[in-house]
Amino acid sequence: MPFQNDYRLLQQVDFPEDLRRLNESELPALAAELRRFLIGTVSKTGGHLAAGLGTVELTIALHYVFNTPEDRLVWDVGHQTYPHKILTGRRERMASLRQKGGLSGFPRRAESSYDTFGVGHASTSVGAALGMAVAAAREGSDRNVVAIIGDGALSGGMAFEALNNAGNMDANLLVVLNDNDMSISPNVGAMSNYLARILSGKVYATVREGSKTVLSTLPPVLELAKRAEEHMKGMIMPGTFFEELGFNYFGPIDGHNLHTLVKTLRNLRGLRGPRFLHIVTRKGKGYEPAEGDPCVYHGVTPFDPATGKMEKKPARKTYTQVFGEWLCDMAACDPRLIAITPAMREGSGLVAFSERFPDRYFDVGIAEQHALTFAAGLACEGLKPVVAIYSTFLQRAYDQLIHDICLQNLPVTFAVDRAGLVGPDGPTHAGSFDLSYLRCLPNITVMTPSDENECRQMLYTAFSQDSPAVVRYPRGSGRGVELDPVMSALPVGKAELRRRGKGVAILAFGSLLQPVLAAAEELNATVVNMRFVKPLDAEMVLNMARTHDFLVTVEENTVLGGAGSAVTEALADAGISTPVLHLGLPDSFIDQGEREELLIQCGLDASGIRRAIQAATPAGLVRMPGKA
C-alpha cells in the first residue's frame, strides 16, 4: 500500500515508541490515516471491521500514554484489535490477516509481545488483567495494567465475577469500558438498557461535553478526593454501580476525542487502585456503510471500499441457513418451541425467526452458561427450547449442560454450529472437541448430518426427543442437496450403508462423508454414513467388523475420545479385534486458514483419506487408484 502519499504519519509509526514521539496535535491526523489504512486492508482480506473502526482513537491514546509493552493492555474478545496490530509492528503483514501462515485475527501471545493475553472469547479481559496486576504487585513493579472491554462483553458473567473480585482486592487496575451499544448482535439485558437510558438523557448530554474539560484538568489524587469525587459521582449515575463494586468511576467521555482521551488516561495513569473509565464510541466510526449497519460490517468478506459492497456469497445454502429455515418451519408447527442464542442472532441464522416470532426469541447476551440454565428452566415447564450456539461457545457452558440439563434429562435441542474446522477465525473458534466432550454424557443424543437435508431431518429428530439432543454441523455450505419440506424423524441410533465394497469399511461421521465416498471409489471400500455418535449403531459396527478385514473411522473432531473411540469401545465390548484406523483432527490446535486448506493439512480430503488408508492397510487389501 503506498505510504508516501497517503500515510505521511502512519509510515513513521512502526511501534508505539514511534507513536509517542509524535506531537499530540498530530494524533487526529494519524487516526484518520489509520482508519483509512484499516478499511483498505480489511477490504482485501475480510475480517472484523466495524469494531476496530470504533477503537482507532482509543488504541492510539492507550499506546501514546502507556509504556507498552511494559505496561499491559488486555483486550477483550479481540475483534477491535486490528488498529492495535497495525501500531505494534505488524502493519506490513496486515495483508496476511486471517490467512494460513499469516496474522491472527485476534490477539495472540506468540505473535507479539504487545499481545499480552490470547483471546477469542468474550468477557475474559478483566480477570486476566487482574491476574497480571496481582503478579506486578508481588514483583514490586509499578507497571500499569489496563483491561479494555466492550459493553457487549460486559454482559458475560465472568466479567462481573472479575470486577467484584478486583474491587474487593483493591488491585491496581484500570478497566476501560468501550460503550458502543453494540456487541455482535444488538446488545440486550439490564446493563445495556441501563447504560442506554443514561446516555440518552439530558444528564449525559451535559456531562459528555462538560467532562471533556473536567477530566482533562483533574487535580492530583488528594485534591481529586477532596474537591471532585462526590461531585462527579453524583452527576454521573452509571458510576454508582461500579463504585459499589469498589471501583473509582470516571466518565462517560467521548471515545473519539483524542485530546480528552489522552488527558484523561494520563491522569488515571497517576492514580492507584481499581479505576473504571467509561468511554462512548461508535462502532464503524468513520466509514459510512459500517456506521449505518454495524452488524453487517462486524465481520466482512472482501469488499469494495468505495461502495462497501461485499463479494457475493455462495449460491448454495449454508448449514446455518438450513437451521434458520427449519426453526421457522418448526415454530409454525409447535407453539412450545422457544429459540435461545447467546448474542449470536446473525451468526446462528436467527434473524428471520426473531422477526416472525419475537415473543419466542431470546437473546441472553454473551452468557452461555445462563443460556443453558434458562433453557433448562423453560423445559421444566413443558416448553421445548432450542439453543443455537457455536461449538466453541458451548464449551463455556459445560457444567450447565451436565448439571442442569443432562442430569435432569430435560428435552433441550442444541443446534451446534461451526463444528470442526472454521477456517480464518482459527483455533479460538474451531469446534474441534464437541464429539469428545458430548458423547461421554448420559441421557444425550448426538447426531452428525452428512448433508443439508439430513441436517434438517436430524433437527426435527432432535426436537422430537424427550431428552437432550444435539445436531452438530460445520460452517459454510453443504453439497447443494435439495431439502425435503416434509420433516420426518430418523430412526435413532441407526446408521446408513452408502456403498458396498470389499476388504475395508469406512465409517463416516458427518459432512466428511463426501470425501470418504470419493476415496472409497478408488479403493473399492465399503462406506457407512454413521449419522449417530450417541447412541452408536453398534450392530452396524459389529457387522462391518465381521465382514471386513479393516475398519476406518473418519470425523471432523479430535481423534482423542471422539466418534472413532466409540467404535473401538464397541468392538472391545464385543471381543472383536478387527484393526481400526482413526482419521480426524490431530492432538494439536490447528492454526487459521481456509477450511479446505486445513482439511487437506489434516489429511481429511479425499486424497488424504485414500493415502492414509493405503499406508495403514496390508498390501493387497485395497486396490490402487486406476486399477480394477
Read off the pLDDT of residues 556-612 as tens digits, 9 standing for 90 and up.
Answer: 999 999 999 999 999 999 999 999 999 999 999 999 888 899 999 999 999 999 999
Place of cell 473401538: 568
Residue 458 phi/psi, 5-degree rounding, is -70, -35
Positions marked catalytic: 283, 368, 396
* pLDDT at residue 478, rounded to an integer: 86
Q: To the nearest whole number, what is the mean pLDDT of the chain?
A: 87
* pLDDT at residue 313, rounded to an integer: 62
What value, to the nearest 5°, has the Cα angle with vertex 589 and ends 587 and 594?
120
- What three-state secondary structure class fits 153? helix
Read off the pLDDT of residues 519-557 as tens digits, 9 standing for 90 and up.
Answer: 999 999 999 999 999 999 999 999 999 999 999 999 999
* pLDDT at residue 498, rounded to an integer: 97
Beta bridge partners of 499: 527
Instruction: Quote the CA–CA distance of 485 and 478 in Å, as a whole number.
Output: 17
579: amino acid identity, one letter: P
Most confident of 242-246, 271-275, 281-285, 579-583: 579-583
* pLDDT at residue 424, rounded to an integer: 86
pLDDT at 262 over 70: yes
Q: Where do runs of H (alpha helix) occur along 46-156?
A: 50-54, 56-65, 82-85, 125-139
* pLDDT at residue 201, rounded to an integer: 40
Instruction: Quote the CA–CA distance of 609 and 113 in Å, as a whole number.
Output: 39
CA-closest candidate to residue 369, choices 342, 343, 407, 388? 342
Confidence of residue 625 (pLDDT cuts 50, 70, 90): low
| Cα distance between the two ends of the chain | 55
Instruction: Quote the CA–CA distance of 506 and 517 in Å, as a whole number.
Output: 9
pLDDT, average across residues 224-243: 53
Angle, helix 606-616 to helix 513-523, in steps of 10 degrees: 50
Confidence of residue 2 (pLDDT cuts 50, 70, 90): very low
pLDDT at 624 over 70: no
CB distance 387 to 393 below 8 Å: no
* pLDDT at residue 292, rounded to an integer: 83
Confidence of residue 238 (pLDDT cuts 50, 70, 90): low
pLDDT at 315 over 80: no
Read off the pLDDT of residues 103-153 as tens digits, 9 standing for 90 and up.
Answer: 888 888 999 999 999 988 888 899 999 999 999 999 999 999 999 998 888
Question: How far, in Å, are 13, 107, 271, 379 from residue 59 at the CA level?
Answer: 13, 14, 20, 45
Read off the pLDDT of residues 146-189 as tens digits, 9 standing for 90 and up.
Answer: 999 988 888 888 888 999 999 888 789 999 999 886 544 444 44
Instruction: Quote the CA–CA distance of 368 and 355 in Å, as a whole number.
Output: 22
pLDDT at 203 over 50: no
Instruction: Quote the CA–CA distance of 32 and 118 in Å, as a whole number.
Output: 28
Query: How distant is the alpha carbon of residue 425 from its chain centre?
Result: 8
* pLDDT at residue 305, rounded to an integer: 87
Residues in the chain: 628
Read off the pLDDT of residues 20-61 as tens digits, 9 standing for 90 and up.
Answer: 999 999 999 999 999 999 999 999 888 888 888 999 999 999
pLDDT, average across residues 8-17: 94
C-alpha cell at 130: 487482574
Residue 50 phi/psi, 5-degree rounding, is -60, -40
- Burial 346-378, CB ≥16 within 10 A → b, else e: bbbbbeebbeebeebbbbbbbbbbbbbbbbbeb
CA-closest candidate to residue 44, choices 308, 283, 422, 301? 301
* pLDDT at residue 525, rounded to an integer: 97
Q: With the CA atoms of 277, 279, 283 and 288 taken in that order, what torsion angle do they form, in degrees rounded to the nearest 10? A: -150
pLDDT at 243 over 60: yes
CA-closest candidate to residue 170, choices 278, 277, 275? 275
pTM over 0.75: yes
Confidence of residue 457 (pLDDT cuts 50, 70, 90): very high
